[in-house]
Structure 1
Amino acid sequence: MTSEVNSRSRRQGPAVLRGRAVPPTTTDQRLLDSRGPADWVHADPWRVLRIQAEFVEGFGLLAELPKAVSVFGSARTKPGTDEYELAVDIGARLHDAGYAVITGGGPGIMEAANKGCDENGGLSVGLGIELPFEQKLNDYLDIGLEFRYFFVRKTMFVKYSQAFVVLPGGFGTLDELFEAITLVQTRKITRFPIVLVGTEFWGGLLDWVEKVMLTSAKISPHDLDLIHLTDDPDEVVQIIIDGHTRAEQEIIEARASAEAGEAAGE
């Protein structure tokens, strides 16, 4: 029993806890759990300071990050599989196109994308999260940061990425995907390509979106244009480059139009 306790380990923010020091729940669980006594009311103001500290630490560490693309996908993908090697290839190609690579910092697809970028000489970033089970940051990171709160981590992904590349994954991958789609759809973020990689994996989901959500008028036809689907790593990078080129051209045209309007008014 003692050896089992001593073998337990968890990262909690900047700290490493082992053995009996590992709490039975995560920080997110304790924040969101509404059950139990009401003494949590008096502790929440202090939690706000911890949340603020995570934002400050993340902003400070990533403020000078060059243009970057976040790559998402399953932590369960094994090295040597086709999906893993595809993510390695995409990570390398993103660096060649001038982008840093950001992932969730864990194993599987995240590790593969970081590996491709890192071994090709690029800047590789991992934004980890405190979980009830052990998931250490992978070995291919130039910058690694672990968060207690999912919503702080999500803010960092969106703020410091110029595009999302989404490979096959589970619930966490879907969460990041639909959050990004929602932010683009509602124009909370702009100039933000979203690329799904894996036609066989994602095809059924997109068919459902088109045949069920669209036909029942839950989304607009142009909402489907927010998502790109491909199996080709070259096309992944080209979609991102083309999206940013168009966006930059639109900005230039908008500024020119505004300046012309001001000149005409004079």
Structure 2
Amino acid sequence: MTVKHNKANSLNIIDDLKGDQSWRIFRIISEFTEGFERLSGLDDAISFFGSARLKPDNAYYQQAVEIAELLSQHNFAIISGGGPGIMEAANKGAYHQKPPSIGLNIELPMEQKPNPYQNLSLDFRYFFVRKVMFVRYSMGYICMPGGFG
């Protein structure tokens, strides 16, 4: 088997990739900008991490609801990943309180949909930008069993 190398085609492919990478930088910057602008008014916030697969009848789900409700009664905004499971439980506990119940949703094909307990919802394409928003605007973290995606 012989592989022919065509320098002109290789350069075109490389140029195409460079162009795509340039635009990706602008998308990343726009996600940072939107996150900073929409979350800049937060005072005290707590982020919740945990399993997306826990159901409302699970003890950890119920604990997350209770903890989020108590924290929000003490004027802490609640930040979660905006999906199901522990994320939903945290948003649910904070939803009817004064500080906002915030969901930092990730856009993935065939993955989580935003839960209905968010007063403020942001959608992210990039995990690392989303993580920066969790860390930048939280003064504490509640880590329940499960993941921290």
- TM-score band w.r.t. shorter chain: 0.7 to 0.9
AA aligned to 2:119 is D
In 1: Cα distance, 2:146 partner to 2:122 partner: 22
* 1:69-88 equivalent positions in 2, closer than 5 A: 69-88=46-65
Query: Is residue 152 from structure 1 mapped to residue 129 from structure 2 by the alignment?
Result: yes
After superposition, what is the alpha-carbon deviation per residue over 1:173-201, rounded to whole angstroms, capped at 9, x for unaligned? 2x6xxxxxxxxxxxxxxxxxxxxxxxxxx
Q: Which secondary structure does the structure 1 equivalent of 2:47 belong to?
A: strand
Q: 1:73 to 1:95 in 2, by over 3 A?
A: same
Identity rate, percent: 51
Normalised by the size of structure 1, how large is the TM-score? Answer: 0.49
Per-residue deviation at 1:121?
A: 4.2
- Flag the structure with more relative contact order, 1 or 2, with Cα contacts below 8 A and sequence separation at least 6: 2
RMSD of aligned Cα (Å): 1.4
The reply to whether residue 47 of structure 1 matches residue 24 of structure 2 is yes
Relative to its length, the structure with more helix (as a share) is 1
Using the alignment, how far apart are the partners of 1:43 and 1:94 within structure 2?
Answer: 43
Shift, 1:67, TM fit = 0.8
- Map 1:86-125 onto structure 2 (within 5 A): 86-125=63-102
CA contact (8 A) 2:72 2:78 kept: yes
Q: 2:143 aligns with which of 138, 146, 166?
A: 166
Q: What is the distance in 2 between the residues matched to 1:112 and 1:160?
A: 20
> Deviations along 1:210-252, whole A, 9 cap, x unmatched?
xxxxxxxxxxxxxxxxxxxxxxxxxxxxxxxxxxxxxxxxxxx
Alignment of 1:1-266 (within 5 A): 37-38=13-14, 39-170=16-147, 173=148
Equivalent residue, structure 1, for 2:8: none
Contact 2:75 2:98 in 1 (8 A): no
Match of 2:10 in 1: none
AA of the residue aligned to 1:159 = R
Secondary structure in 2 aligned to 1:119? Answer: coil
Structure 2 spans left out of the alignment, 5+ residues: 1-12
1:128 partner amino acid: N
Unaligned runs of 5+ in 1: 1-36, 176-266
Distance in 1 of aligned mates of 2:97 and 2:50:
20
Q: Deviations over 1:144-185 (max 9, x none)?
A: 001011111111111111011100003xx2x6xxxxxxxxxx
Q: CA separation in 1, counterparts of 2:97 and 2:106?
A: 26
Structure with greater Cα Rg: 1
> 1:51 is matched by which residue type in structure 2?
I
